[in-house]
């Protein structure tokens, strides 16, 4: 049962990042009109750096796809980790209303990392 819950959580997590990456390229999710002014400033600053958003989108897409493949799940989790840290920091400082979802996503990522810990131990042996 635990394995099924883990698989479902991982697939949903991966799909959220794939969706986020695709949205950065195609802008199909409308921006909410009540977005905090500070978050608008942050997003505008990120958009001013022309290469940054496409890089984040590619990392989200690659990490999300790798998370869907059990053999490469550990690599996908490592790739997504810095993006998740950024998401947590933005929601902890600027857009606090999204913090509960960010914490849940971070918890899923920590679970994925924990389940693959034996693969990471080989890196430091």
HSE of 60 in the Cβ direction (CA atoms, 13 Å)?
Answer: 23
Would the pLDDT of 38 be above 90? no
Listed in sequence order, the DSSP H helices in the chain are: 2-26, 37-48, 52-68, 73-93, 99-115, 117-121
Distance from C-alpha of 53 to C-alpha of 46, rounded to nearest angstrom: 7
Would the pLDDT of 125 be above 80? no
Mean pLDDT of 12-41: 91
* Confidence (pLDDT) at 33: 85
Q: How confident is the model at residue 39 (pLDDT cuts 50, 70, 90)?
A: confident
Per-residue model confidence as pLDDT tens digits over 62-120: 999 999 999 999 999 999 999 999 999 999 998 898 899 999 999 999 999 999 999 99
Q: How confident is the model at residue 60 (pLDDT cuts 50, 70, 90)?
A: very high
């Amino acid at each position: 049962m635990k394995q099924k819950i883990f698989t479902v959580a991982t697939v949903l997590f991966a799909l959220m990042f794939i969706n986020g990456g695709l949205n950065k390229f195609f802008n199909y999710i409308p921006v909410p009109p009540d977005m905090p002014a500070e978050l608008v400033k942050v997003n505008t600053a990120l958009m001013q750096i022309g290469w940054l958003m496409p890089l984040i989108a590619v990392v989200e897409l690659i990490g999300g796809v790798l998370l869907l493949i059990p053999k490469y799940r550990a690599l996908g989790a490592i790739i997504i980790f810095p993006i998740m840290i950024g998401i947590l920091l933005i929601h902890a400082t600027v857009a606090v209303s999204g913090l509960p979802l960010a914490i849940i996503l971070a918890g899923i990522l920590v679970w994925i990392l924990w389940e693959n810990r034996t693969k990471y131990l080989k890196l430091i042996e």
